[in-house]
DNA sequence: GTGATACATCTGTATGACAAGTTGTCAATA
DNA sequence: TATTGACAACTTGTCATACAGATGTATCAC
């Protein structure tokens, strides 16, 4: 049953075996390979196929039981009870600590914010545009001035939230708020390292201004492109800084 | 440390030891006995005090870690990370009944799936491509043949899920699963009306094939464009059908 | 004081064993 | 034939032990 592994990319360094097996099992459920109501292979079988101890398999199963994705009964087996998290779409708090998962979260953010920028360009009211501009200026001051690192992150988040708000679509705003909250601490750590290395966030300031200009001009295609570029670059910057941190630890 | 037990209510029959210990630990957190940030007693200590094996304690801790209430680190210990369950991104079930909110949900889906199509074109494995093609064919058969309405919706969802899966990014897959599940009933109602009006979903079949071809060719820009077009058109079709239903009701 | 080293302690993982519960088989029985 | 009941073959639940790997701390040398 090596095909259990086929879809799982090389797993994050530092992730425990329990984390890894949890991901494999979860993927088998959400991908539909194990439909809702179906029975899982026994823990012993899974342990053999995945080449880990039964201890690790039980750890993974117990987590997914806590999420409501699996249920088990002594003597019968374990079953898929739901193919989605009980409480909507959620990101595990520890996931942002794994660079691979973090990059995936950033990818999702990209998909969502690129289109948000386009909607914002089409629909932003004067008030929205003013807030976007204000957030861009605040970010500018925070980065070029002598403000603390925290102010920079907050201004950054404020800008992106303003763009999401300007879509006039509360789901964009809601999803951004959730992703932003999940990323806040990590962004803070990254920016801290950036400052230590001499600071490289002036690019981000210019990118914010460019996006704000495109939205103000009502050019949705341009807003899309500039947002894409900005998120690609800032994602690379963040991941680069975090890699420095992890390397420094070792 | 018998006071660990003092506040625990009589536990349900059939509850495993793991369930019981989970409740004890959870109570110690929410009651404030173990403040946020504090360190838990070691697993060995807890096992002794609670008179269970370390296995059971680990089971309980792993569940609470999955809930985001605890976090642990090898060599350091386990800590209280939050005294309340984390809330994710959620869509109210009644929102899909409002046409305006529904169109907003579809917009969010667009943002997410357009970029997913691009990632899929870049990263899809042979297995992914085969599944996408199979889902497109299944949709084809369901729409051109004499299958039920439900099969069509399921095949439609399967196609889009396959694309999300092909990103290799479980957050795209997870968000799609959530949005798809939220939309399933509404899509069913819309397609029912479409069939009643003479059927207009052959366009969607062709669009699916077009998308599949773009992904198979590895052309991410084309995949993006075609997915955007498809979601725009199918969104309009769905909303149009639903308006017919609402008009018929009145 | 400072840095290197050894040690104690914690979580993570593996292994083996047994208890407890469920399901299917199959023969004995009415 | 239909039903019962013992039994074997599974499953998950729990325990005990051992060791690996990571971390923090005390200790020693300089």
- A120 located within any domain: yes
- A85 located within any domain: no
Model confidence band, residue B137 (pLDDT cutoffs 50, 70, 90): very high
- B198 located within any domain: yes
Measure the CA–CA gap between B152 and B136, rounded to whole angstroms. 11
Model confidence band, residue A12 (pLDDT cutoffs 50, 70, 90): very low
Same domain flag for B106 and B147:
yes
A85 and B CB contact within 8 Å: yes
Measure the CA–CA gap between A95 and B169, rounded to whole angstroms. 13
Contact flag, residue A76 CB and nucleic strand D, below 7 A: yes
A 205-234 residues inside an 8 A Cβ radius of B: none
Same domain flag for A125 and A199:
yes
**What was the pLDDT predicted at A241?**
84
Same domain flag for A56 and A151:
no
CATH number at residue B47: 1.10.10.10
Contact call for A63 and B58, based on CB within 8 A: no
- B88 located within any domain: no
Q: How many domains does chain A have?
A: 2
Q: What is the pLDDT of residues A231-247, one digit of tens each?
A: 999 999 988 888 877 66
pLDDT at A4 over 60: no
A80, A114, A133 — which closes off a domain? A80
**What was the pLDDT predicted at A160?**
95
Contact flag, residue A70 CB and nucleic strand D, below 7 A: no
Same domain flag for B67 and B128:
no
B80, B111, B134 — which closes off a domain? B80
A 129-168 residues inside an 8 A Cβ radius of B: 167
pLDDT at A146 over 90: no
Same domain flag for A156 and A45:
no
Highest mean pLDDT among A14-18, A94-98, A126-130, B23-27: A126-130
Same domain flag for B185 and B115:
yes
Helices (H), chain A: 3-6, 17-30, 43-50, 54-66, 99-123, 126-144, 149-166, 170-196, 202-216, 220-249
Selected for mutation to probe chain A from B155, B171, B182, B229 (highest A CB count within 10 Å) is B171
- Vertex B203, ends B199 and B207: CA angle to 5°? 145
CB atoms within 10 A of CB A52: 18
A27 and B CB contact within 8 Å: yes
Closest nucleotide C1' to the C-alpha of A51: C14
Model confidence band, residue B114 (pLDDT cutoffs 50, 70, 90): very high
- Vertex A96, ends A94 and A97: CA angle to 5°? 70
pLDDT at A11 over 50: no
Domain span at B37 = 3-80
Same domain flag for A40 and A101:
no
B33, B51, B80 — which closes off a domain? B80
- The predicted model gives B57-82 an average pLDDT of 85
Comparing CA positions, the residue from A88, A109, A80, A101 lying closest to residue A8 is A101
CB atoms within 10 A of CB A11: 17
pLDDT at A10 over 50: no
Same domain flag for A48 and A146:
no
- A132 located within any domain: yes
Same domain flag for A68 and A143:
no
Q: What is the pLDDT of residues B87-109, one digit of tens each?
A: 567 666 556 667 778 888 999 99
- The predicted model gives B147-156 an average pLDDT of 84
Measure the CA–CA gap between A192 and A162, rounded to whole angstroms. 24
CATH number at residue A191: 1.20.120.530
Measure the CA–CA gap between B19 and B63, rounded to whole angstroms. 9
Selected for mutation to probe chain A from B43, B115, B127 (highest A CB count within 10 Å) is B115
Measure the CA–CA gap between B224 and B112, rounded to whole angstroms. 11
Same domain flag for B109 and B232:
yes
**What was the pLDDT predicted at A84?**
61
Q: What is the mean pLDDT of chain A?
A: 83
Measure the CA–CA gap between A142 and A148, rounded to whole angstroms. 7
Residue A191 corresponds to which tokens in the numbers above? 């920016």
- A86 located within any domain: no
Model confidence band, residue A164 (pLDDT cutoffs 50, 70, 90): very high
Stated length of chain A = 250
- B145 located within any domain: yes
Model confidence band, residue B245 (pLDDT cutoffs 50, 70, 90): confident
- A33 located within any domain: yes
Same domain flag for B245 and B200:
yes
Same domain flag for A52 and A101:
no
Model confidence band, residue A250 (pLDDT cutoffs 50, 70, 90): very low
Q: What is the pLDDT of residues A41-61, one digit of tens each?
A: 888 888 888 888 888 998 889
């Amino acid at each position: 049953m090596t095909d259990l592994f086929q879809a799982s990319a090389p797993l994050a360094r530092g992730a425990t075996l329990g984390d890894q097996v949890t991901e494999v099992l979860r993927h088998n459920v959400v991908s539909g390979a194990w439909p809702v109501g179906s029975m899982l292979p026994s823990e012993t079988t899974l342990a053999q196929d995945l080449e880990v101890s039964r201890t690790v398999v039980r750890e993974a199963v117990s987590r997914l039981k806590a999420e409501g994705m699996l249920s088990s009964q002594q003597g019968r087996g374990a079953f898929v009870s739901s193919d989605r998290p009980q409480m909507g779409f959620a990101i595990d708090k520890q996931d942002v600590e794994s660079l691979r998962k973090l990059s995936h979260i950033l990818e999702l953010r990209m998909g969502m914010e690129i289109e948000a920028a386009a909607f914002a360009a089409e629909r932003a009211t004067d008030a929205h545009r003013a807030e976007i501009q204000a957030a861009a200026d605040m970010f500018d001051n925070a980065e070029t001035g002598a403000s603390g690192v925290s102010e920079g992150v907050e201004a950054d988040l404020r800008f992106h939230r303003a763009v999401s708000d300007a879509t006039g679509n509360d789901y964009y705003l809601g999803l951004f708020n959730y992703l932003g909250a999940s990323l806040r601490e990590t962004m803070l750590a990254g920016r801290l390292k950036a400052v230590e290395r001499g600071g490289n966030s002036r690019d981000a300031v210019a990118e914010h201004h460019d996006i704000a200009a495109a939205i103000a001009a009502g050019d949705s295609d341009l807003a899309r492109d500039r947002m894409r570029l900005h998120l690609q670059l800032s994602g690379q910057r963040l991941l680069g800084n975090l890699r420095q941190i992890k390397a420094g630890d070792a």
